[in-house]
Structure 1
Amino acid sequence: MYDALIVGGGAAGFFTAINLSEKNPNYKIAILERGKEVLTKVRVSGGGRCNVTHACFVPNDLVKFYPRGEKELRGPFHQFCSGDTIEWFEKHGVELKIEEDGRMFPVSDSSQTIIDCFLNATKKYKIDILTGQSVQSIFRSEDSWKVETNHQTFRCEYLVMTTGSNPKIWEMLEKLGHTIVPPVPSLFTFNIKDNRIKDLMGVSAFASVKVQHSKLSASGPLLITHWGMSGPGILRLSAWGARELFNKNYQFILEVNWLNDATLEETENQLKELKLEHAKKVVTKKSPFDFPNRLWESLVLASEISMETKWADLSKKQLQNLALQLTNGKFQVNGKSTFKEEFVTAGGIDLKEINFKTMESKLLPKVYFAGEIVNIDAITGGFNFQNAWTSGFIVSESINKF
């Protein structure tokens, strides 16, 4: 028998358990984890450095990074935001640093620092960490919740579900009356086979991207990879378009503006000026725009301009072709790839069935949710972890009030 049982040994589960114990040191708490190890996602996140949060400190700005959950998270972020996360980790001996793009990592640049912080705290507060516990059923008895695993039966007064994207757990919660929004992948890269990017692996440019015949668009650094396109701009598009792109079976035309917000007309005029300015120079030699020469050369050749053509010799048609390649290059996308190990899912418990002041289920008394088990997800950059910290903190506050 436990006072509180946390199902799921990830970021949200540990954060909930530690905060609950700090407020109630005599509380009997256990974390149940189906795998052999805990905090596996924390270990691999941010390339093994753990992207703890993002340096965005205004709740109303922070919510804009969540394709699902923007409205619901406004209140919770006023309770516990990025600044509170920094303070919490500092109090627990972990100093964070801000990188140029706003992402925040431990100063050590190692996710092990975060894992050690959590494990030391669970040891200090005598929180039981029970691995290899695969939940088989959840049911309510007279005055407590019962959780049956492959090894034993647990009872608790408060049940906290932090199992992330776990279809088996969603199925159990569905049987208990919750609505599950069907899961689809979010945060993925695009598979593109195209001669224009064939030998440009590693080339990056700031671009705006759009899915043809849809309202989906995004901008940001675009990275060419050996399987197609990645980078923050593409990931942003994949997150906001998670459902729509799933419905398209990941087959669509991607429109790329390599000059970000420049129009076709503006670009044509600019190219005409360059033609006069660099008349005797070879077009392919040097990129006149703020992106790598290799990409420039590839787009020039795709515009039916040969390697040795000089600016002065460009025809009107070639200039138009080049302007089109620069501002509206069309690329056929055939499928997707997972972004590194950071698998994020759109879907989960319907947000209408959760009280966001407490993170308690509106249908099941004394059952709480934290992290990605609910239909909330964010773009890359530390935002998914911030949701885990915020929701875990609110759960611990709510239970503490009882």
Structure 2
Amino acid sequence: MQYDFLIIGGGAAGFFTAINVAEKNPSLKIVILERGKEVLSKVRISGGGRCNVTHAEFIPNELSKNYPRGEKELVGPFHTFMTGDTMEWFSSRGVELKIEDDGRIFPVSDSSQTIINCFLSETKKLGIEVLKNHAVKDFYKEKGIWKVITNQGSFEAKKMMLATGSNPKIWAKLNKLDFKTINAVPSLFTFNIKDTRIKDLPGIATNASVQVKDSKLISDGPLLITHWGMSGPAILKLSAWGAVELNSYQYNFEITVNWLQDYSEEETVDLLKGLKNKNPKQQVFKYAQFELPKRLWQSLVVASGIENSTRWADTNKVQLSKLSQELTKGVFMVKGKSTFKEEFVTAGGIDLKEINFKTFESKKYENLYFAGEILNIDAITGGFNFQNAWTGAYIAAQAITSKT
């Protein structure tokens, strides 16, 4: 079957591209090929089923800093299409968005189905074909035309986009076309930690600074203690920025946690001495200090060898030193990882040197475009990965229609 524009991948980037192309040139015959039984499956589960559409960062240079891979390349594209443009795009199609306190942006409905319905409605209105259960067997270019073979037939189009995410079979086919790809490794994962200090503390959250021992990887922010170890923004950011390095450790490494974030070990010793002078008759265990959650404070006190009944006046130099270490340099052994909710994100994909970021077109093959996670671009949690998809898809759509 012949088309003007063919998209492989029925996810966020694929749909966004198709809609923007069709709106700009309604005469084009467009098809989306999806290998699965359903389209937009990742949109459905994102943000706990609410779809974290983007993030309230409106300065391109600042927005790009949330991408461990792709930071430099996305600055230019973000000047063309970013957060405010995304919000306006959805709003103009009847989808109202809201900004939450942490900067994440969701549909007012708090349902990812709202986003899915928007896309399905737009594709239907614009006459875009969406074919499910079409697994791609091969694709190649012949006499200026892209040819795609699926398990259900063959398709031809002058222009083609790959928006297949981290699909290793597609990457393997790209390698045969002389594309360089970076092997996929997990990003955005939580740390599995079995440690008596946090064993009975699931649900406790506090700000902390976390560093991978003997490395430059460090992250600050809210840390959540879970039944399996540690999670929260501080951990997730560390997993994103350290995706490649932590994979090389096979997810067995040590971290140091500074529960006080702003204080060093030496400064904390002085502060503890001050508490000893100020509250000599007070039991150390009973009253939490430094605005730490009470149960966390008590666990660290016990780990320091200070008994429940010990008063500040009765603490010795060794105990205060040990407590200071627990508060600012506690070492925890990470043994394995867990996927963050259902939002599996990978680092890896097509080498960014292969792409013209003014058009999101291949530098090797004319009329071949890419958008979304198929590129070696990934971000921390908070709506940034979707923003990359919207931006790349929009710019590609403009390039595709301008060449028609």
TM over 0.5: yes
Question: Aligned residue for 2:337?
Answer: 336
Q: Offset of 1:291 from its aligned partner?
A: 2.1
Question: Aligned residue for 1:66?
Answer: 67
Matched, 1:309 2:310: yes
Matched, 1:82 2:83: yes
Question: Aligned residue for 1:368?
Answer: 369
CA–CA separation in structure 2 for the residues paired with 1:99 and 1:270: 36
RMSD: 0.7
Q: Offset of 1:261 from its aligned partner?
A: 2.2
Question: Aligned residue for 1:274?
Answer: 275
- Paired residue type of 1:123: K
Q: Offset of 1:48 from its aligned partner?
A: 0.5
Moved more, 158-167 or 281-290: 281-290
CA contact (8 A) 1:221 1:233 kept: yes
Matched, 1:383 2:399: no
Matched, 1:198 2:199: yes
CA–CA separation in structure 1 for the residues paired with 2:292 and 2:366: 56
Moved over 4 A (4+): none
Q: Offset of 1:278 from its aligned partner?
A: 1.7
| Structure 2 counterparts to residues 351-362 of structure 1, below 5 A | 351-362=352-363
- Paired residue type of 2:68: P
CA–CA separation in structure 1 for the residues paired with 2:266 and 2:356: 51
Q: Offset of 1:268 from its aligned partner?
A: 0.8
- Paired residue type of 2:298: E
CA–CA separation in structure 2 for the residues paired with 1:2 and 1:301: 69
CA contact (8 A) 1:49 1:110 kept: yes
- Paired residue type of 2:195: D
Question: Aligned residue for 1:346?
Answer: 347
CA contact (8 A) 1:52 1:104 kept: yes
Matched, 1:232 2:233: yes
Q: Offset of 1:237 from its aligned partner?
A: 0.5
SS of alignment partner, residue 273 of structure 2: helix
CA–CA separation in structure 2 for the residues paired with 1:232 and 1:120: 35
SS of alignment partner, residue 65 of structure 2: helix
CA–CA separation in structure 1 for the residues paired with 2:42 and 2:292: 34
Q: Offset of 1:245 from its aligned partner?
A: 0.7
CA contact (8 A) 1:16 1:396 kept: yes
- What 5-or-longer segments of structure 2 have no aligned partner? none
CA contact (8 A) 1:354 1:360 kept: yes
- Paired residue type of 2:180: T
Q: Offset of 1:143 from its aligned partner?
A: 3.0
CA contact (8 A) 1:161 1:373 kept: yes
CA–CA separation in structure 2 for the residues paired with 1:223 and 1:304: 25
Q: Offset of 1:290 from its aligned partner?
A: 2.0
Question: Aligned residue for 2:252?
Answer: 251
- Paired residue type of 2:85: D
CA–CA separation in structure 1 for the residues paired with 2:50 and 2:176: 38
SS of alignment partner, residue 26 of structure 1: coil
Kindly provide the CA deviation profile for residues 28-59 of structure 1, in whole angstroms up to 9, marking residues without a partner as x: 11111000000010011001110000000000
CA contact (8 A) 1:139 1:146 kept: yes
SS of alignment partner, residue 112 of structure 1: helix
Question: Aligned residue for 1:122?
Answer: 123
SS of alignment partner, residue 86 of structure 1: helix
CA–CA separation in structure 1 for the residues paired with 2:83 and 2:131: 30
Kindly provide the CA deviation profile for residues 182-233 of structure 1, in whole angstroms up to 9, marking residues without a partner as x: 1111111111110000010111110000011111101110111111111000
| Structure 2 counterparts to residues 3-402 of structure 1, below 5 A | 3-402=4-403
CA–CA separation in structure 2 for the residues paired with 1:139 and 1:352: 21
CA–CA separation in structure 1 for the residues paired with 2:154 and 2:291: 62
Percent identity for Structure 1 against Structure 2 = 63
CA–CA separation in structure 2 for the residues paired with 1:286 and 1:137: 66
Count of residues in Structure 1 that have an aligned counterpart in Structure 2: 402
- Paired residue type of 2:141: R
CA–CA separation in structure 1 for the residues paired with 2:217 and 2:242: 6
- Paired residue type of 1:106: P
SS of alignment partner, residue 399 of structure 1: helix
CA contact (8 A) 1:204 1:291 kept: no
CA contact (8 A) 1:9 1:38 kept: yes
CA–CA separation in structure 2 for the residues paired with 1:7 and 1:284: 60
CA–CA separation in structure 1 for the residues paired with 2:163 and 2:285: 54
- Paired residue type of 1:102: G
Kindly provide the CA deviation profile for residues 48-104 of structure 1, in whole angstroms up to 9, marking residues without a partner as x: 110000000000100000000011001100110101001101101111111111110
Q: Offset of 1:282 from its aligned partner?
A: 1.4
- Paired residue type of 1:395: A
CA–CA separation in structure 2 for the residues paired with 1:288 and 1:191: 27
